[in-house]
Amino acid sequence: MARRTARRALLGYNVRMVRSVPMTSQPPAWLLRAGYHAIGALFALPDTLLGLLAGPVPPEAAGLEPDAWLVARLSERARLPAGELPPAQMRARFELLATPFSARRLPALQRSDHELAGPAGPIPARLYRPAQAPTRGPLLVYYHGGGWVQGSIASHDHACGLLAHLSGVRVLSIEYRLAPEHPFPAAADDALAAYAQAAERHAELDVDPGRLAIGGDSAGGNLAAVTAQALRGDRSLPAPALQLLIYPALDMSRRRESRRLFGERFLLTEQTMAWYEDQYVPDLGLRADPRVSPLLADLSGLPPAHIATCLADPLRDEGEDYARGLRQAGVPVALQRHPLVHGFFNQTVTRSAHRAVAAIAGALRQAFA
């Protein structure tokens, strides 16, 4: 009983910290600091204690890391129904939640902001150059997650910086247009334009145009896969050396078993995904288009891929089906299922997520070895 009471108290404190933040303006600095330190202190506890605080892992997610299950529990208690807030407030909340769950400290990195030419105007981008990065070194063009509706350079700032540091590879984070204001194909068009600009402006970015990779998480993984397919056979642009797909969303045309198993209680829910899809592709007739569902495309002739999926993620089966499809098409692919939940790229305050990002960074580094 005492253990259960302590668990509820600690979970409740961190949930109240999130819910108490006003979404119509920038939260006060003291509240951000308090939330940051509270989350950091919580996940600094030993795994055994984190497991006790989170409670038993459901049978369908056996093997899930204790800190990942605790992240899911916190998310479940703090969640607001998708679409309850106006888009601007929802995006502010998404960025706010990303910060306290990110890595505590980042090494010194050179950050520089850029504007890339896009089909509907400038596309903001941020370049992360790790310390001791070689002149004219390789570059990863990266598309953030957020269901095509939210997410930004800011929400993924810590994560992209950490990936650049751990891999030794420059990372160019792309802020593409978001739905519902800009439905499909706006994000896909921006993603392709950003890659083309990175290749064309290689001297300004101090990168080798022959050593480019493409990647993203969740909806960003979708855009990375779509862009890799669009570049196939285009001799005017260098082919990516790698597709780095982190728990990607790859097929909007049907529901797989992992969406049934993990569509509740594991951070990303079925209701949220359906709402995202309705915002990005409101026309149901377009959902089988390979630029929406790249899993339905011909997968031959694509760049090598590293695909990271999560044990307890509604999108798990899509990523793993894509890996099988690539192998059948003769494309080299590495698949790693992490014992985590969706969103771990932005959860590196936890030890397990930090290890997963380190493994992904190793794959990126190896692609350019």
Please identify every residue annotated as catalytic: 218, 313, 342
Would you list the DSSP string of 32-65?
Answer: HHHHHHHHHHHHTS-HHHHHHHH-PPPGGGTT--
Report angle CA 325, 176, 344 to the nearest 5 degrees. 60
Residue entry with tokens 């909340």: 93
Report angle CA 130, 131, 133 to the nearest 5 degrees. 70
Helix 66-78 to helix 351-367 angle, to the nearest 10 degrees? 110
Q: How far apart are CA 253 and CA 247, in angstroms?
A: 17
Quick one: CA torsion of 116, 118, 121, 123, rounded to 10 degrees?
-40
Q: Could you count the other beta carbons within 10 Å of the beta carbon of residue 328?
A: 10
Would you list the DSSP string of 211-261?
Answer: EEEEEEETHHHHHHHHHHHHHTT-TTSPPPS-EEEES-----SS--HHHHH
Residue entry with tokens 């509706």: 149
Residue type, 128: Y
Residue entry with tokens 């600091």: 33
Q: How far apart are CA 301 and CA 285, in angstroms?
A: 27
Sheet of 333-341: strand order equals: 109-118, 121-130, 170-174, 137-143, 207-217, 243-246, 305-312, 333-341
Listed residue (16, 149, 172) closest to 88, CA to CA: 149
Q: Are 36 and 100 in contact (CB under 8 A)?
A: yes
Q: How far apart are CA 116 and CA 126, in angstroms?
A: 10
